[in-house]
Amino acid sequence: MTVPQPPSHRTNPKSQWSTLSVHAGEDQAPKPRGAVTDPIFCASTYAFSDTQSLIDFIVEKQPREEYARYGNPTEKTVERKLAILDGAEAAVLYATGMAAVSGLLLAKLSAGDELVIFDEFYQRSREFCENELSRFGVATKIVATGDFDQLEAAITPATRLLFTESPTNPHLSVIDLERFAALGRKHGIETAVDATLATPYNVRPIEFGIDYVVHSCTKYLAGHNDLLAGSISAAAAKIEPLRKFRGYAGTTNSPQAEYLLLRGLKTLELRMQRHNANGQAMAEFLASHPRIDRVYYPGLPGHPNYEIAKRTMRGCGGVVTFTVKEADWRQTARIVDAVRIPQIAASLGGVESLIEQPLILSYYEFTPENRQSLGIPDNMIRLSCGIENIEDLIADLKQALDK
């Protein structure tokens, strides 16, 4: 049976963002059997027709598959799409966001090297630096978020990497990435940004001169709270050693999760537009509510990084962190328990709204002094607005706060 062949789609690099997110990185030739979507390649290993073709593959470094720990065709499609969305030459996918964070650090840093991070850093990334990297003789210097004088003062001849998040989780501080990249260049040090909370729709750090962009694709990029994945985008020569290290570490993702990520990426613009609008409206509502003490959302004019966010970001996303006036942890927990639409769960960036009290979810076993030094008060709530109707979400928060 002959299968009708659609005209091959050519992705013009000048295409607008949503065209790129739907089509970029996908095969230009018709897909197998006329399918509109990419197939999932489940094979763990790939056969060669004879010994000579195996030798040719090794000697000529042919771009084909060998063993799935080193990649599969579904994964390559996602990597090409992510690289294009991030404005990078190449990207490498990982099993999780933490595999990407730890993969970057382990592949880049050696005994005697130093790394500088800001004090607002995803707690598990920070613990990895402090508790694990230190075992291999890598020192982590931690400076106040956004303080460029402290950042520069922390640099020594042993510094190999400056690593930040933007916006930070859960405080939503926005870093001036142009300045961050310029500082790295001035000292000949590479820079990395975990842009999980931004996504390439809201900000593209490579355009500011950042060397590595890390994402937990588990969040907005996949967007449906149904898979784990991580990625790093960078220049092709910088991705090559990371991919090699991933082959040793075995932190490759599965073709099934990669396919779901590919599907999620196609609707990224639509979802981000809604997340941005919902986050902004929710932040404005909370800022006007008499029970709310402080709202951490860079889209609010009173936020210390409002100007940087306005200049560098298309929107501020769906995550809104806030504190409840004169509430202890129990009174705060009662609000979390009273909401009906957002579910109490870790993670963010999915179509379903999620809510959590950082004290309980991530810092329950920390001492009060420790939590205070990390800026995690007992009355803090982090809300990840999904893509539900904003009037429903606000009415839900309102009834929980007014109880």
Catalytic residues: 69, 122, 194, 219
Residue 96 binding ligand PLP, by CB under 6 A: yes
Q: 305-337 b/e with 16+ CB inside 10 Å = b?
A: bbebbeebbbbbbbbbbbbbeebeeeebbebbe
List the 319-324 sheet strands across, edge first: 292-296, 319-324, 380-384, 354-356, 343-344
Sequence-distant (6+) residues with CB within 8 A of 21 are 81, 85, 265, 266, 267, 268, 269
Residue 79 binding ligand PLP, by CB under 6 A: no
Stretch that binds ligand PLP, among 92-100, 127-135, 244-252, 359-367 (CB under 6 A): 92-100
Residue 313 binding ligand PLP, by CB under 6 A: no
Contact 280, 229 (CB under 8 A): no
Stretch that binds ligand PLP, among 49-57, 96-104, 181-189, 360-368 (CB under 6 A): 96-104
Tokens of 181: 């990249």
Contact 208, 184 (CB under 8 A): no
Residues 205-234 that bind ligand PLP (CB under 6 A): 216, 218, 228, 230
Which listed residue (41, 118, 122, 285) binds ligand PLP by CB under 6 A? 122
Q: 30: closest CA among 12, 11, 5, 10?
A: 5
Stretch that binds ligand PLP, among 22-30, 83-91, 189-197, 378-386 (CB under 6 A): 189-197
How many residues would you count in the chain?
A: 403
Q: Closer to ligand PLP by CB, 72 or 253: give it.
A: 253
Amino acid identity at 345: A
- Round to whole Å and give the CA distance between 255 and 257: 6
Q: Closer to ligand PLP by CB, 103 or 315: give it.
A: 103
Which listed residue (71, 97, 298, 358) binds ligand PLP by CB under 6 A? 97
Stretch that binds ligand PLP, among 19-27, 91-99, 257-265, 290-298 (CB under 6 A): 91-99
The contact set with ligand PLP (CB under 6 A) reads 96-98, 101, 122, 125, 165, 169, 194, 196-197, 216, 218, 228, 230
